[in-house]
Structure 1
Amino acid sequence: MPMAMNAGSIWADVLARHGDRPAVRDDDGTTISFAQILEIAADFTRQLGPRRLIFLRTASSAASVAAWLALLASDHAVLAIEHDLAPERLAALVGLYRPDAIIDPQGATTPGRSDILGGTTLHPDLAVLLSTSGSTGSPKLARFTAAALLANAAAIADYLGLGPYERPFLALPTSYSYGMSIINSHALVGACIEVTAHGVMQAEFWDGLSSRAATSLAGVPFHYDAIRRLGMDRLATPTLTTLTQAGGKLPAPVAARYAEWAAANGRRFITMYGQTEAGPRLTWLPPEHLASHAGAIGLPIPGVSIDLIAADGGVITAPGVAGEMRCSSPAVMMGYAHDAADLARGDDLGGVLMTGDLASRDTDGILSITGRASRMIKLFGTRVNLDDIDAQLARMDVPGVAFGQDDQMRILIEAGDPETVRAALIAAFSFPPRGLLVKAVASLPRAASGKLLYGALGDAWEAAT
């Protein structure tokens, strides 16, 4: 029987194929090649020894992206976290999972610090941990093998037709599964990732998009709504051929507007759907279907199959009937981790994921989301577990509950000053202020049993001053 590869061998082989080709370049012009990334991986092993649990604090720089790829190509297991994650959230993650080192965006390591506990037992196949709830720093993590992320990267490269000539303009963080998938899929084909720390509202963003000859741009609904308001003529850079969107549902009229613009200007606008737990991409809407199916999530990507499951557990075959999406994919996570002990676990899911999202399929086989079965929203592209917000309110000794919809989280509280609570939540979770609203009520709607009536929260919000 052949000897099994270590967790990073398959990614090391991928990077080695591209030699001295540039892998990543940032706003300062710093350029790092694939060969240099493999040297960084070797340095990490020399500094840290074999097979460690590493936290990587990510930033929008060439050094940060290179560190991510180097760790992916090593035998270490890595959790990518946002550089501006609130200190108390980072401390909680460190205490819970006991990493052996934290690596900052410039590649410096911090082994031996008093708050770095170490000693966590890792399953031999574990390569990557991803946060399931974006900037909340939720202790619930998704566990992945290196092969799973490679499978998703290969599928993305397939349906997008990626090649080494691509120059994706990346403003999304590495710690966000969408941003990670852009890095992985382009590294797979030997493309150079043009990473930027600038946002779409800054002139430097648009200058960089043009001067660095970007071929593609990825964004969440917030980005595309902002670009529409700024003027879509900003996208008229000659080298820019592909726009991709994920991270939440783009309103159908906005999607239709981009479909019209793309068709008129010889570009591709591609909407996609995924979940962090799926590595992350699951479906895509081919551009030829966008005009007639604006707002739909499309078709399964290569290697993925999707069934719609009725409440009784049966598989729905009739068009137009909604059910929970059950996805089979080689990129599905091994399972969740809630603490360090879970990092020794094997594959709990066998490549099958119940998404918690409800969808229907039309006569063309195209899927559309109809609702959610869980308490998750997307806040400007970041997936947020509302239970995490409720838990923070409890820690603040504020009776309250979070609810709402994509890009607008609402908090009802029974005690305290709404503006004080709002400021505290923004500070704790690094939320964009425009996405969070807080109101006070005399009492939250509850049943006689004392159970919170989630269905009545909307009416209570409207009645509140």
Structure 2
Amino acid sequence: MTLIGDGARLVDVTSGRTLEHDELVREVNRIVEALSALPEGVLFARVPIGLTGLLRYLGAFEAQRAVALIDPALGAESLGKLIVRFQPGAVLGAPDAAPPAGYRAEGEDWVRTATEGVRPHPDLAVLLATSGSTGAPQFARLSRRAVLTNAHAIAEVLGIGPDDVAPTSLPPHYSYGMSVLNSHLAHGATVVIEPSGILGRPFWDAVTGSGCTSIAAVPYHYEMLRRLDFDPARYPRLRALTQAGGRLRPDLVTEFDTRMRSAGGGLYVMYGQTEAAPRMATMPAEQLAYKPASVGPAMPGGQFGIRQNDGSETTHPKITGEVIYRGPNVMMGYAEDAAGLARGDELGGVLPTGDLGYLDEDGYLFVTGRLKRIGKVFGNRINLDDLEQAARTIGLGIDIVAAIPAGDKVVLFAEGIAKDVSKQASRALGELLHLHASGFDVRPIDVVPLLASGKIDYQALTELI
């Protein structure tokens, strides 16, 4: 199977160029041929929102070269550490800098000088970084089957077809952004490439001008759209808003559900993890008004179970425990270095999610919390206890600190720090954890509140956000 279905096309707003299906296939095949000459090993592809970056990804996938999608904003030092650990055959779209030792510059790429390297497992297709909260990121290893089956399952539940048009509201190195691209192209739809982001005026001009039919957004975006008094009726072809990347506040679910239904469309609340390539559930828009707290049933081909305290698993309704997902889209496992890329499937299609929840009598999932103190930064799961420890080690005088999840970012209250330290700390944490600094909102506070037991009063801090 291919990611480029019949009729699929790319529209690049920046250049004004449209790649109809046949030309898109020719461009991708040209890249496939070029990639075949690169040294063996995983390929690192820096993928900004742009035509060149998306073609790099599609070319690597169609060439059946394992490709790690790298945030182009990743700092040179962090990128260098990843290169040392994973020894990629090449870095596609390399930074404008001298290549590291063992690599040579070829056009826009860095190519490894040694032709022999660790050969990835033949099933391995895509690697996405997940936050190693101790500062050592790892990659989720997604097979070709996992990526393709999830793309087709998403398209099935959302009814994506050749008439659909989706803008690049999220970057492709983020699993949600990748899934939008995959699900639309695989079913012959159009992807409109517009890099300014969902809060930029050019983005909405592109939505109007290209007749976009759906928009994907994370909770932060919905908060901003509410402030901007977003009205879907202004966009006559818009029929669907999708939401993932963290829990959306119930009042916003209700509000955007109402707005979309009044405009003849629907809001689709989705649940997933990078480790599931990435979607595991989608709430049907027509059911949202009746079950606004649910994330819906499992994706086609998937199944949820609830693991109880005694280790047994059940699908009986109203029993709360850890959510277990089974499906063909579950990752093969993690890789922490080049040797890990050669390993086969270690999970057998079973993913313990780390989330607490229950199923209702219709098999709809309700997520109620976390097994551990976990937050999400742009879809990446972060252990908040480890994050607090990391904040204490970045050399900025932070000692007493409390981390609170806040949608698709984490707020850290740091006792007694100066205001000018806050931005420095955000940047340092972003660099340490290989995520954008805006995902870490470090705020000074005079005194971190404590419970009578002497433990941090996290609930009191949550009320300050």
- The CA deviation at 1:93 is 1.1
What residue number does 2:73 align with?
A: 84
Amino acid at match of 1:424: A
Pick from 60, 63, 80 the counterpart of residue 74 of structure 1: 63
Q: Which residue of 2 is the match for residue 406 of structure 1? A: 406
Aligned counterpart for 1:436 among listed residues 441, 449, 454: 441
The one of 164, 167, 173 aligned to 2:165: 167
Q: Which amino acid aligns with 1:406?
A: A
1:423 aligns with 2:424: yes
CA contact (8 A) 2:402 2:458 kept: no
Alignment root-mean-square deviation, CA: 3.3
Corresponding position of 1:28: 15
Deviation at 1:60, TM superposition (A): 0.9
What SS does the aligned partner of 2:141 have? strand
| Alignment partner, residue 394 of structure 1 | 393
Q: Aligned partners of 2:311 and 2:319: how far apart in 1?
A: 14
Amino acid at match of 1:155: A
Q: 1:118–1:187: structure 2 CA closer, same or farther, 3 Å change rule? A: farther
C-alpha distance 78-462 of structure 1, shift in aligned 2 (>3 A): closer
Query: What is the alpha-carbon distance in structure 2 between the residues aligned to residue 18 and residue 425 of structure 1?
Result: 44
* Residue type of the alignment partner of 2:217: G
The count of corresponding residues between Structure 1 and Structure 2 is 443
**C-alpha distance in structure 1 between counterparts of 2:338 and 2:389, whole Å:** 24
Work out whether residues 325 and 359 of structure 1, in 8 Å CA contact, stay in contact via their aligned partners in 2.
yes
**Structure 1 range deviating more: 345-354 or 393-402:** 393-402
Deviations 1:159-212 (A, max 9, x none): 111112211112200000000011111111122211211123322121111011
CA change 1:98–1:380 in 2 (3 A) is closer
Shift of 1:390: 3.2
Change in 2 beyond 3 A, CA 1:206/1:382? farther
Structure 2 CA distance for aligned equivalents of residues 340 and 85 of structure 1: 19
Which among 351, 354, 357 is matched to residue 353 of structure 1? 351
The change in CA–CA distance for 1:247 and 1:463 in structure 2 (over 3 A counts) is closer
1:101 equivalenced with 2:96 (yes/no): no
For the residue of structure 2 that corresponds to 1:288, the secondary structure is: helix
Asked whether the equivalents of residues 304 and 315 of structure 2 are also in contact (C-alpha less than 8 Å), the reply is no
Partner of residue 320, structure 2: 322
**Structure 1 residue 384: Cα displacement:** 3.7
Give the 3-state SS of the residue equivalent to 2:310 in structure 1.
Answer: coil
In structure 2, relative to structure 1, the CA distance for the partners of 1:235 and 1:319 (3 Å cut) is: same
Q: Deviations over 1:47-79 (max 9, x none)?
A: 415x43111111111111111111111131111
Q: 1:158 aligns with which of 156, 159, 182?
A: 156
User: Cα–Cα, structure 1 residues 411 and 435, in superposed 2: closer, same or farther, change >3 Å?
Assistant: closer
TM-score after normalising by structure 2: 0.85
**Structure 1 position 39 matched with structure 2 position 44:** no
Assess, with a 3 A threshold, how the Cα gap between structure 1 residues 434 and 137 changes in structure 2: closer, same or farther: closer
- Structure-1 separation of matches of 2:121 and 2:176: 25
CA contact 1:132–1:383 (8 Å) conserved in 2: yes
Question: In 2, are the aligned partners of 1:101 and 1:118 still within 8 Å (CA)?
Answer: no
CA contact (8 A) 2:32 2:62 kept: no
Q: Which residue of 2 aligns with 1:285?
A: 283
1:37–1:271 distance in 2 versus 1, CA, 3 Å:
farther
Closer, same or farther: CA 42–228 of 1 in aligned 2, 3 Å = same
CA deviation digits over 1:11-36, x for unaligned, max 9? 3xx53x537x5234343323334313
Deviates more, 1:174-183 or 1:391-400: 391-400
Are 2:168 and 2:193, in contact at CA under 8 Å, matched by a contact in 1? yes
Give the drift of 1:357. 0.3
| Secondary structure at 1:201 match in 2 | coil
Go from structure 1 to structure 2 and tell me whether the alpha carbon gap of 1:101 and 1:71 turns closer, same or farther (over 3 Å shift): same
Partners of 2:335 and 2:363 in 1: CA distance: 34
Equivalence map 1:92-241=2 (5 Å): 92-104=81-93, 108-112=108-112, 119-133=117-131, 139-233=137-231, 236-241=234-239
Mean CA deviation greater in 146-155 or 318-327: 318-327
Query: 1:422 offset after TM fit, Å?
Result: 4.1
SS at match of 2:151: helix
Larger displacement relative to structure 2 (117-126 or 69-78): 117-126
Q: Give the alignment's TM-score, normalised by structure 1.
A: 0.85
**Alignment correspondent of 1:368:** 366
User: In 2, Cα distance between the equivalents of 1:428 and 1:117?
Assistant: 35
Q: Work out whether residues 197 and 203 of structure 2, in 8 Å CA contact, stay in contact via their aligned partners in 1.
A: yes
SS at match of 1:85: coil
Amino acid paired to 1:284: T
2 CA distance for matches of 1:129 and 1:254?
Answer: 33
Change over 3 Å in CA distance of 1:167–1:79 after alignment to 2: same
How much does 1:255 deviate?
0.7
Alpha-carbon distance change, 317 to 35 in structure 1, aligned in 2, over 3 angstroms: closer
Would the aligned equivalents of 2:414 and 2:442 in 1 still touch at CA under 8 Å? no
Local SS of the residue matching 1:292: coil
Pair 1:99–1:460, CA change in 2 (3 A): same
Q: Distance in 1 between matches of 2:72 and 2:312?
A: 44
* More displaced 10-residue stretch of structure 1: 230-239 or 389-398: 389-398
What one-letter code is carried by the residue in structure 2 that aligns with 1:67? Answer: R
| Contact preservation (8 Å) 1:53, 1:99 | yes
In structure 2, the gaps of 5 or more residues are: 96-106
What is the rounded CA distance, in whole Å, between the counterparts of 2:115 and 2:36 in structure 1?
Answer: 20
- Aligned mates of 1:313, 1:365 — CA distance in 2: 20
Worse overlay, 120-129 or 263-272: 120-129
Q: 2:244 aligns with which of 237, 246, 261?
A: 246
Q: Distance in 2 between matches of 1:414 and 1:406?
A: 19
Separation in 2, partners of 1:441, 1:313: 44
Q: Which moved more, 1:210-219 or 1:231-240?
A: 231-240
Residues 342 and 320 of structure 1: is their aligned pair in 2 closer, same or farther, counting only changes over 3 Å? same
